[in-house]
Amino acid sequence: MTLRPVVCTTCGDRAVTATVVTVEGAQAVVSVDGRLTPVAIDLVPGVAPGDVVLCHASVALVRLEDGT
């Protein structure tokens, strides 16, 4: 059996890990490889600066425990 990377079935993109820098309302600014970008955090309640989240299409999907 060959394992393939998990990608979005709609667009083919991969989700990326990002570190939350700031949070304001339902949006956070995250750092991805040193680049800052806004993401929606509606799906991940209680996100705080320093948290590591998995993001796809400018949406945080899940908070990763211990950054993994």
Give the CA distances from residue 45 to residues 17, 35, 51, 59, 60, in Å, rounded to whole numbers and listed in that order: 17, 23, 12, 12, 10
pLDDT in tens, 5-38: 556 655 667 788 999 999 999 999 999 989 999 9
- Residues paired with residue 56 on neighbouring β-strands, in sequence order: 59
- Residue 63, token pair as written in the block: 């908070």
Q: What average pLDDT does the chain have?
A: 85
Is 0.75 topped by the overall pTM? yes
pLDDT higher at 8 or 39? 39
In the chain, the domains with their CATH numbers are: 16-67 (2.30.30.140)
What percent of the chain stands above pLDDT 90?
Answer: 66
- pLDDT for res 3: 47
Query: Which residues, including other chains, have CB under 8 Å from residue 49's CB and lie 6 or more apart?
Result: 20, 21, 22, 23
